[in-house]
Amino acid sequence: MTLRADVPLIFERSTPGRRGYRLPELDVPETPLEELIPQEYLRTEPPALPEVSELEVVRHYTQLPRRNHGVDVGFYPLGSCTMKYNPRVHEDLVSLPGLSAIHPYQPEETVQGALELIYNLSEHLAAIAGLAKTSLQPAAGAHGELSGLMVIKAYHNHRGEGHRTEMLVPDSAHGTNPASCAMVGYKVVEVPSNERGGVDVEALKKLVGPNTAGLMLTNPNTLGLFDENICQIAQIVHEAGGLLYYDGANANAIMGVVRPGDTGFDVVHFNLHKTFSTPHGGGGPGAGPIVVSEKLAPFLPGPVVQKDGDQFRLVMPEHSVGRVRSFYGNFLVYAKAYAYILSHGPQGLREVSATAVLNANYVMNKLKDVFELPYERICMHEFVLSGSHLKKYGVRTLDLAKRLSDYGFHAPTVYFPLIVDEAIMIEPTETEAKSTLDEFIEVMRQIAEEAKENPEMLTSAPHNTPVKRVDEARAARHPVLRWKPEASGEQ
Ligand SMILES: *Cc1c(COP(=O)(O)O)cnc(C)c1O
């Protein structure tokens, strides 16, 4: 890890008159600009662009990412986010012209291969979910939730049960779950967790009723725990006339091991940009496909690809909730997921999950004597510790997170899930070697020691990074997200 703390962060490098290029003398008659562009569109003054040499530009863009943390730089155990390594070969693959140079307005018969890819990927995801039909349309996890809930709503409405407007959501849920409910106009009914970190079944029985539209669940949940009562939970919700929604944003523990459909779920969304090999984190394109049971298939967002003989066609499902995205979604993300699934095969995907679970349990067991482990159980692909015992030294989980940067590790997810005080949510993923996990364990133990001996070291961290501790409130309220020329006075 080479974080260059010694190099000062000089961002503004413009010097009047400096150039990165020079065009050759014009050897054809010059056409006046006004003849090419209408007068009203012409600038009266040149834009205030930085004046820099080519080398300075190259250095600038080479330095910037070196000041950042990414999975290519070091361990990234950001719980719930599955910051695994994504094979580089997939980037080569999606730059093939047959995939990257096609256009959504092309006639169907000229893009049969692309449609076949969409069709096959839909089938594979349905097999992994243990459900019938897929729509690849949604562009992200939260978008998948929204689309899945729209499908549930359309189904109830179609049956004349539009009064079902209550969605049950456990208190451990990802924040997007209640938010998505609100977006479709559902009332969120919070379900408490039991002492084992799962759904409190007795409380659930009291909360279901004639207005229940369904239950949204993540299983394993955000504590990294598999709910052992899932079949009973499904029965309770189904008997009340509700449907089960599976937040499968993070399916890294279950592929080839458990099919959500077999445990009673009616709708599943996956995040291709978490589990299925699309890098994420910078807000880049993702995909949050949904898979549903046979009875919900007519309501899926469209278009979806249908196979007629050896032809692939785009069709709108009979009672479709409509389009949720332009064209056919983020096609190149599909191509990466398809390559990932094919190259692993069923056994390989199962191994991905097994290794992710093994790695998480290994790290958990090596840390549970120095951090509190609120739920002492075998975890799935992630686990949640509590840093509440550090408070007596004046140290918060946030300080620990900052201190980890000094050692070249990205922080785990902190303060989530909300039901654990000073939560530290760690997801190692399957792509990390044991030696990396051991280094992380060592550093976490060392930081726990530092908290006792030298709490100031943590509360003033990070010390070795190019940017020291930021004022988070100010960063959130007054973010500076783009470069503006100093002289322009532009707001
Ligand atoms: C990441 C995540 C989401 C949201 O996915 P986005 O693609 O960021 O919208 C939803 N639920 C869970 C459990 C997640 O981990």
Q: Ligand 1 pocket, 288 CB below 6 A?
A: yes
Buried b (16+ CB within 10 A) or exposed e, 465-485: bbeeeeeeeeeeeeeeeeeee
Residue-level pLDDT at 8: 56
CA atoms of 81 and 73, how far apart (whole Å) = 17
Q: Ligand 1 pocket, 135 CB below 6 A?
A: no
Q: Is 12 helix (H, G, I), strand (E, B) or coil?
A: coil
Residue type at 302?
Answer: G
Neighbouring C-alpha atoms within 13 Å toward the C-beta of 352: 24
Q: Ligand 1 pocket, 140 CB below 6 A?
A: yes
Q: What token pair was written down for 244?
A: 């089960």
Cα(354) to ligand 1 centroid in Å equals: 21
* Ligand 1 nearest-atom number relative to CA 271: 7
- Which 8-state DSSP code applies to residue 193? B
Q: Ligand 1 pocket, 80 CB below 6 A?
A: yes
C-beta atoms surrounding 206 within 10 Å:
9
Q: Ligand 1 pocket, 249 CB below 6 A?
A: yes
Cα(249) to ligand 1 centroid in Å equals: 5
Please, what are the domains in the chain?
89-344 (3.40.640.10), 353-477 (3.90.1150.10)
- Judge whether 197 and 172 are in contact, CB under 8 Å: yes
Q: Ligand 1 pocket, 189 CB below 6 A?
A: no
CA atoms of 356 and 354, how far apart (whole Å) = 6
- Pairing type for strands 133-135 and 187-191 reads unpaired
* Ligand 1 nearest-atom number relative to CA 173: 13
Q: What token pair was written down for 111?
A: 């893009």
Cα(143) to ligand 1 centroid in Å equals: 9
Q: Give the neighbor-by-neighbor strand order of the sheet with 413-414.
A: 383-386, 423-426, 413-414
In 222-296 the beta strands, taken as DSSP E runs, fall at: 243-248, 267-270, 290-292
Cα(134) to ligand 1 centroid in Å equals: 18
Q: Is 413 helix (H, G, I), strand (E, B) or coil?
A: strand
CA atoms of 190 and 50, how far apart (whole Å) = 53
Q: What token pair was written down for 459?
A: 């509360």
CA atoms of 94 and 120, how far apart (whole Å) = 17
Round to the nearest angstrom and report the end-to-end CA distance of the chain: 37
- Which 8-state DSSP code applies to residue 299? G
Cα(280) to ligand 1 centroid in Å equals: 11
pTM across the whole model: 0.91
Buried b (16+ CB within 10 A) or exposed e, 152-173: bbbbbeeeeeeebbbbbbbebb
Residue-level pLDDT at 49: 86
What secondary structure does DSSP assign to 361-382, as a single string?
Answer: HHHHHHHTTTSB-SS-S--SS-
Helix (H) or strand (E) holding 458: helix 455-459
Q: How far is CA 108 from the centre of its chain?
A: 31
Q: Ligand 1 pocket, 141 CB below 6 A?
A: yes
Low-confidence ranges of the chain (pLDDT < 70): 1-9, 283, 486-491
CA atoms of 239 and 244, how far apart (whole Å) = 11
Q: Which long-range contacts (CB under 8 A, 24 or more apart) does 117-122 make?
A: 117/334, 117/335, 117/338, 118/305, 118/312, 118/328, 118/331, 118/334, 119/305, 119/306, 119/307, 119/312, 120/338, 121/334, 121/337, 121/338, 121/341, 122/289, 122/304, 122/305
Cα(176) to ligand 1 centroid in Å equals: 7
- Judge whether 182 and 165 are in contact, CB under 8 Å: no
Give 291's contacts (C-beta < 8 A, 6+ positions apart).
Answer: 125, 126, 129, 131, 132, 133, 134, 261, 267, 268, 269, 270
Helix (H) or strand (E) holding 307: strand 304-308
Residue-level pLDDT at 6: 52
Q: Ligand 1 pocket, 218 CB below 6 A?
A: yes
Ligand 1, atom 14: nearest CA belongs to which residue?
249
Whether the bond between 479 and the residue before it is cis, its omega within 30 degrees of 0, is no
Cα(186) to ligand 1 centroid in Å equals: 19
Q: For residues 38, 39, 45 and 50, what is the CA-based torsion angle, rounded to 10 degrees?
A: 0
Q: What token pair was written down for 444?
A: 């976490």
Cα(250) to ligand 1 centroid in Å equals: 7
CA atoms of 360 and 100, how far apart (whole Å) = 36
- Judge whether 290 and 148 are in contact, CB under 8 Å: yes
Q: Ligand 1 pocket, 193 CB below 6 A?
A: no
Residue-level pLDDT at 490: 44
Burial tier of 405 (Cβ tally within 10 Å: 0-12, 13-18, 19+): buried
Cα(51) to ligand 1 centroid in Å equals: 42
